[in-house]
């Protein structure tokens, strides 16, 4: 199916007002805490073209929308109203999509669990949902976007990904999460975390959903000098003769056994279909967390300096949560004159080594398939895990390294664990090969035939109990 037509086919098949349905569901499922704000009069462009006409979506609350609050779930920006709209949001509005609200996130997109935020913004994973205070965590930082898609509130949502912030929640909530190549989507209007790592992206229940959203929002933007055009897809691509790269470096001690089984299952599907499974050397993978932390925290300390109470928002000194303050302090330390060469420059050199290894791997293979290492946790488990950055980053090692080199990467739900929770896999392509990645992901999605019947039954039960 043509990517531009995907949601129109959905709308005609359901034959209902999708916007009204989404608004109603957002109210009925408000206890999932996936929205910072919902618009009683959804934002739409009445003169838009037909392709996405009447299709509702949500945007993470670090994307600016004109004349509405953009808070990043922080008290620092609690009163900030943006004078302009982010390019990725505007292009979707221009195509006819309807914005129904802004979704929750870890404060300033800093977090991997969705809990580094005030209680009313802590999104709840709808899988095995419980109204108790020990709910399943959705992952972060695009927690609200993942939850509202998993719960069926909207067909797709916008997120941002700096080291796995779309892909980790997608895996834990059982949806498709797509981080395009760096620059494929404009960063104009995305409140920066780490400029050289940030990527807007999409979450949906299907590959067709993220592909359609990407189709209508990709391309050069004069307001973002890092924006690029990606290659179009070659329809003659042979899905039965794919070279798949596998690195043993992702077989870390933190990985759950079920994640390994899922990884093996997907590789078997490729192999059975005629693909070659080729080992690739990514020898510096284990250094990725240290490299990422040094570069990311340095960017954070620089970007957060603007929140001084005069230029933007309130004085950050008195309104930021512990994890954000900690990253700023570490970043300042890294950028001190005596430490700059030891930490920041060393990290940039290491980044180049990691990027070169990935580039060499893509000289041998079409795609790299990796496991998703992050585990399902409940809220009480965080008391044991805390905000241990090393543990958090080791869980994200398979995702964050592809922010370092700018590759497009997609997480696909593959099945359920023994406990009935979703399990995912990550597929990665070389930078600029976004449409090739989406094509093979759609092919694999068809082979896996993942079902949402379990989560739909849970949502139906919640709705019936709320009547």
Which pLDDT tens digit goes with each residue over 129-152?
766 788 999 999 999 999 999 999
Told to judge if 181 belongs to the known catalytic residues of this protein, a careful annotator would answer: no
CB-based contact 109:72 (threshold 8 Å): yes
Min mean pLDDT across 233-237, 290-294, 416-420, 428-432 is at 233-237
Question: Which ranges of 314-452 would DSSP assign to H, the alpha helix?
Answer: 322-334, 346-362, 382-385, 389-395, 397-404, 434-448
CA distance 133 to 378: 9
Q: pLDDT grade, residue 8 (50/70/90)?
A: low
State yes or no: pLDDT of 451 exceeds 80.
Answer: yes
**Percent of the chain beyond pLDDT 90?**
75
Most confident of the ranges 163-177, 243-257, 367-381:
163-177
pLDDT digits (tens, 9 = 90+) for 59-93: 999 999 999 999 999 999 999 999 999 999 999 99
* Bond prior to 147 in cis (omega within 30° of 0): no
The length of the chain is 467
Q: Are strands 199-204 and 176-179 parallel, antiparallel or unpaired?
A: antiparallel
Most distant pair of Cα atoms in the chain: their distance: 64
How many whole angstroms separate alpha carbon 244 and alpha carbon 139?
Answer: 28
User: b or e along 262-279 (b: 16 or more beta carbons within 10 Å of the residue's beta carbon)?
Assistant: bbeebbeebeeeebeeee
Of 372, 26, 28, 3, nearest in space to 170 by CA: 372
Average pLDDT for the chain: 91
Give the active site residue among 26, 60, 247, 394.
60
pLDDT at 5: 64
CB contact set of 459 (below 8 Å; sequence gap of 6+): 29, 126, 151, 152
Mind listing the pLDDT tens digit for each residue in 362-414?
999 999 999 998 889 888 887 655 445 555 666 788 999 999 999 999 999 99
> pTM of the predicted model, to two decimals?
0.95
What percent of the chain shows pLDDT beyond 70? 91
Mean pLDDT throughout 6-20? Answer: 73
- The residue among 82, 76, 68 whose CA lies nearest residue 35 is 68
Catalytic choice (22, 74, 112, 141): 141
- The residue whose two tokens read 């954000």 is 324
323 or 188, greater pLDDT: 188
Average pLDDT for 334-348: 96
Our answer to whether residue 165 is catalytic in this structure is yes
Give the DSSP H/E element, type plus range, for residue 454: helix 453-466
Task: Give the Cα separation of 39 and 23 in Å (integer).
Answer: 9
Q: Which residue from 447, 18, 194, 82 is spatially nearest to 90, judged by alpha carbons?
A: 82
Mean pLDDT for 226-234 is 89
60 as an active site residue: the answer is: yes
């Amino acid at each position: 199916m043509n990517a531009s037509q995907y949601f129109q086919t959905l709308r005609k098949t359901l034959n209902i007002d999708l916007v009204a349905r989404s608004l109603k569901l957002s109210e009925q499922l408000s206890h999932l805490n996936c929205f910072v704000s919902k618009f009683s009069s959804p934002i739409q462009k009445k003169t838009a073209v037909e392709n996405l006409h009447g299709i509702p979506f949500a945007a993470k609350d670090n994307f600016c929308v004109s004349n509405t609050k953009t808070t990043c779930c922080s008290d620092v920006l609690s009163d900030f109203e943006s004078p302009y709209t982010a390019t990725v949001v505007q292009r979707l509005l221009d195509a006819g999509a309807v914005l129904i609200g802004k979704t929750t996130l870890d404060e300033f997109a800093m977090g991997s669990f969705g809990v580094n935020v005030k209680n009313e913004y802590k999104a709840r994973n709808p899988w095995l949902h419980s109204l108790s205070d020990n709910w399943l965590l959705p992952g972060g930082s695009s927690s609200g976007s993942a939850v509202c898609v998993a719960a069926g509130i909207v067909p797709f949502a916008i997120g941002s990904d700096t080291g796995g912030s779309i892909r980790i929640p997608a895996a834990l909530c059982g949806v498709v999460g797509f981080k395009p190549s760096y620059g494929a989507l404009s960063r104009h209007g995305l409140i920066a975390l780490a400029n050289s790592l940030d990527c807007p992206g999409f979450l949906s229940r299907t590959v067709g959903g993220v592909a359609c959203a990407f189709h209508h929002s990709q391309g050069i933007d004069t307001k973002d000098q890092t924006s690029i055009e990606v290659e179009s897809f070659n329809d003659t691509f042979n899905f039965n003769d794919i070279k798949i790269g596998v690195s043993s470096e992702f077989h870390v001690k933190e990985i759950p056994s079920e994640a390994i089984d899922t990884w093996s299952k997907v590789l078997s599907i490729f192999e059975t279909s005629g693909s070659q499974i080729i080992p690739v050397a990514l020898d510096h993978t284990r250094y990725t967390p240290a490299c990422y932390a040094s570069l990311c925290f340095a960017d954070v300390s620089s970007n957060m300096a603007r929140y001084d109470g005069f230029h933007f928002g309130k004085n950050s000194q008195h309104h930021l949560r512990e994890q954000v303050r900690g990253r700023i302090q570490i970043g300042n330390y890294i950028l001190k004159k005596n430490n700059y060469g030891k930490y920041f420059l060393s990290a940039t050199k290491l980044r180049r080594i990691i990027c070169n290894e990935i580039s060499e791997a893509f000289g041998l293979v079409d795609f790299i398939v990796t496991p998703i290492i992050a585990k399902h946790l409940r809220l009480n488990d965080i008391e044991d895990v805390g905000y241990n950055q090393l543990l958090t980053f080791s869980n994200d090692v398979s995702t964050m390294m592809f922010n370092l080199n700018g590759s497009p990467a997609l997480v696909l739900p593959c099945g359920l664990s023994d406990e009935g929770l979703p399990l995912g896999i990550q597929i990665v392509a070389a930078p600029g090969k976004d449409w090739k990645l989406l094509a093979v992901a759609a092919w694999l999605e068809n082979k896996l035939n993942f079902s949402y019947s379990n989560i739909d039954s849970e949502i139906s039960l919640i709705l019936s109990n709320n009547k």
